[in-house]
């Protein structure tokens, strides 16, 4: 907290300085109410392109648009005071060239107030990361399983096993050297995640990686158990809100059908 009593927002440089310190807590958020809930406990709140699957019912993240990311980024920003907000760059918004990436990243930051953007890819994205960071746009990198590349990866498979470990290791080193302030490691073997964490100078944020990473991130809906049919191995359930919601909805429906709701205390009489 500042001398004026205002809560200080965590910056990308402050986040990077936490390398090797107390593990960094990260969650996704897509709405203002959820942002308010997670802000007090999280160091970083990610407006992930997973919003396409979580809130819009898309089969993958590939159909997510700039407009969707900006809309949800604006909503999340209204609910945050402390946590660093990072917004995902959607598929097709940065791969063409560093110049395309800059135009879209600048738009995201200007219209949402994000502290940084996140983009997927390792060595292939090094020039783009370098271009953005040289122009005052902090970048969070993402290597290992990159969901926007599922069509070339052959699905949501663990990356970096066997001979493929060298590729993921090189990707992590390259994005750090290019100027990323942190890197997400998704669905890589724990031993590889530990090696990357030990070797790169920026915080590693694991999702399906290792407890030895510098921090962890989960999709908040997975962590809260809002999905009753989808249970990824790497997502520990800290609640089962989906089942509680189904039970509550069923109870409401029964009360309506039996005319128990609204009860007298829920309606208004003629007297003032």
Question: Radius of gyration over alpha carbons of the chain, in Å?
Answer: 21
Name the strand (E) or helix (H) holding 138. none
Q: Give the closest residue to 86 by CA, choosing from 118, 110, 121.
A: 118
Which residue range(s) make up the domain with 129?
12-238
Q: Look at residue 6 and tell me if it is in a domain.
A: no
Q: Do 225 and 217 meet the contact criterion of CB atoms below 8 Å apart?
A: no
The predicted structure's pLDDT at residue 92: 98
CATH number, domain with residue 181: 3.20.20.60
The predicted structure's pLDDT at residue 234: 86
The predicted structure's pLDDT at residue 188: 97
The predicted structure's pLDDT at residue 141: 98
Q: Look at residue 173 and tell me if it is in a domain.
A: yes
The total number of structural domains in the chain stands at 1
SS3 27: strand
The predicted structure's pLDDT at residue 2: 52
The annotation status of 214 as a binding-site residue, yes or no, is no
- Could you give the CA distance from residue 242 to residue 249 in angstroms, rounded to a whole number? 11
Q: Look at residue 243 and tell me if it is in a domain.
A: no
Query: Which pTM value belongs to this model?
Result: 0.94
The predicted structure's pLDDT at residue 56: 96
The annotation status of 233 as a binding-site residue, yes or no, is no
Q: Do 85 and 39 meet the contact criterion of CB atoms below 8 Å apart?
A: no
What is the phi/psi pair of residue 194, to 5°? -65, -40
Q: Look at residue 184 and tell me if it is in a domain.
A: yes
The predicted structure's pLDDT at residue 156: 84
The annotation status of 41 as a binding-site residue, yes or no, is no
Q: Look at residue 37 and tell me if it is in a domain.
A: yes
Q: Given the DSSP bridges, would you call strands 204-207 and 116-118 parallel, antiparallel or unpaired?
A: unpaired
The annotation status of 270 as a binding-site residue, yes or no, is no
Q: What is the mean pLDDT of each run of 10 residues along the chain (272 residues)?
A: 69 98 98 98 98 95 97 98 98 98 98 98 98 98 95 89 97 98 97 98 98 98 86 88 96 98 93 74
pLDDT (tens digit, 9 = 90+) per residue, 50-87? 999 999 999 999 999 999 999 999 999 999 999 999 99
Q: Look at residue 78 and tell me if it is in a domain.
A: yes
Q: Do 79 and 35 meet the contact criterion of CB atoms below 8 Å apart?
A: yes
Q: Look at residue 120 and tell me if it is in a domain.
A: yes
Beta strands in 103-225 (DSSP E): 116-118, 139-144, 182-186, 204-207, 215-218
The predicted structure's pLDDT at residue 232: 80
The predicted structure's pLDDT at residue 1: 52
The annotation status of 88 as a binding-site residue, yes or no, is yes
The predicted structure's pLDDT at residue 122: 97
The predicted structure's pLDDT at residue 153: 86
Question: Which residue numbers are catalytic?
Answer: 186
- Could you give the CA distance from residue 153 to residue 33 in angstroms, rounded to a whole number? 35
């Amino acid at each position: 907290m500042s001398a004026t009593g205002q809560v200080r927002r965590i910056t990308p440089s402050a986040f990077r300085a936490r390398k090797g310190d107390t593990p960094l807590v990260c969650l996704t958020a897509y709405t203002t109410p959820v942002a308010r809930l997670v802000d007090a406990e999280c160091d970083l709140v990610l407006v992930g392109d997973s919003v396409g699957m979580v809130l819009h019912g898309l089969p993958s993240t590939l159909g997510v648009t700039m407009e969707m990311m900006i809309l949800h980024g604006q909503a999340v920003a209204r609910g945050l005071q402390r946590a660093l907000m990072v917004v995902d760059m959607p598929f097709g918004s940065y791969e063409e060239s560093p110049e395309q990436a800059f135009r879209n990243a600048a738009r995201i930051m200007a219209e949402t107030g994000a502290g940084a953007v996140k983009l997927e890819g390792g060595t292939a994205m090094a020039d783009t990361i370098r271009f953005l960071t040289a122009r005052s746009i902090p970048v969070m990198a993402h290597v290992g399983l990159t969901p926007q590349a599922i069509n070339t990866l052959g699905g949501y498979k663990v990356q970096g096993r066997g001979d493929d470990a060298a590729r993921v290791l090189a990707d992590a080193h390259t994005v750090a050297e290019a100027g990323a302030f942190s890197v997400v490691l998704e669905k890589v073997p724990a031993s590889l995640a530990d090696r990357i964490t030990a070797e790169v100078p920026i915080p590693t944020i694991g999702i399906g990686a290792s407890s030895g990473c510098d921090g962890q991130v989960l999709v908040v809906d997975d962590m809260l158990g809002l999905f009753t049919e989808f249970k990824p191995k790497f997502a520990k359930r800290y609640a089962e809100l989906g089942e509680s919601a189904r039970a509550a909805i069923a109870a409401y429906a029964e009360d309506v059908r039996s005319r128990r709701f609204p009860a007298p205390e829920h309606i208004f009489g003629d007297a003032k």
